[in-house]
Structure formats: structure tokens, C-alpha cells
Amino acid sequence: MNEDAKWAAVSENDSSFDGVFFYGVKTTGIFCRPSCKSKVPRRENVRFFDSAGQARQEGFRPCKRCRPDLLSYQPLKELAEKAKDLIDSSIENKLALANELRNLGLTQHRLAELFRDHYGLTISEYSQRVRLEKARVMLAATREPIANIAFDVGFESLSAFYRFFRKQTGMTPSAYRQTCQRPTGQNSANRGPANQSSANQISAEKREEN
């Protein structure tokens, strides 16, 4: 990136170059990030640096307005990441998860806005995605009873889990499991017991959905 491109970024307060380079103003002895909202200096008074450390070594002080010395510190991003980590690790316990999210120190509305801004999903939408993915993995890779899987992914009732899973995938949990675990090359002679088991499971599913 040449100095003309850097100067264009400074002139336009282009935040996309924050962290890519810094600029110092000779007349004030202060260095800034490209997005700084202070008055744009004269071109002949500007020096460019590859890092905040380099600017400091040259005797420049960090701007108190744009705080280039704190460029790597992004508290809002860190809070969004903490919320995501909590959902990933505590999805099976709604009450504990809600308490942990409250402990982040933001209102529910502000945290929801922050999460959506960083991940493009609401907390509810992301939580559902995590529950669905965990359920799919357990159904495909284990023989854990479906009731246990429902509770392990945060549902308080089996019927609620069935409704959720069918809405998201268009299949019942047992049908999804059969699709994933069906042996290849299975002949008709071996399908009798499996079909009987499937019939029993479908019957159970209908009872749960009702």
C-alpha cells in the first residue's frame, strides 16, 4: 500500500484501514488511526507508520480521541464472543445459560443488538442452530434414546423437541436417525426386524406429538 492510498484513507476517515497503518501529525506529535474524526491535517505534516509501536518509537503520542493504542481492544466484540461461547457450552440448561448471559453486565436488549450486529443472527436463532446441530450429531452418531437427546439439547419435553426438529428438518428425529444410520447394501431378509422397530418408533412419535 503506497502513501497516496494511505493518505486517501486518512482523508476519508476509512475505518477499514484501522490496524493496517497509523499516521502521525508532525505539528502536534500525535498519532492516530485512519478513521480518526479529528480535523484532517495538512498532507505535508503527516507521517505514516506500520504499527502503533513504531509511532511511539518515533516520539508520537496516541490520540485521546481515536485511541490508536487501544486498537486491538474491542470490548463489544469480546462480549459478543463470550455470549456465543456461553451458548455453545451451556445450551442444554436454559436457566443456567440465561443467568450466565445476565452476568455479562448488559441489558437483554443491548446484548441482543450486539450479538446480532456481530453474527447476523439473534441469540434465539443461534441457540436453535446450536441445538439442531447437536441433536443431528447425536442422532447420527449415537444410539442414545431420543428422549435423552431432547433433554441434552435443552428441551423440557419430548413433544417440543419433535415439533422443533420436524419444523427445522422436515423429518422426525427417528426418521433422521434411520437415514443416517441405515446400513449400506442391506438386503430384504435383514430388514424385517428393523421395519418392526421403525413401526414401533413411529407409533411412539405419534403419541408424543399428540
Q: Which residues are catalytic?
A: 32
C-alpha cell at 6: 494511505
* Amino acid letter, residue 35: S
Quote the CA–CA distance of 116 and 99 in Å, as a whole number: 19
Q: Which ranges of 91-190 does DSSP label H, i.e. alpha helix?
A: 94-102, 108-119, 123-141, 146-152, 158-169, 173-181
Helices 191-209 and 158-169, interaxial angle, to 10°? 110
C-alpha cell at 16: 477499514
C-alpha cell at 145: 434414546
Quote the CA–CA distance of 165 and 170 in Å, as a whole number: 7
How many residues are present in the chain? Answer: 210
In the block, which residue shows the cell 442444554? 92
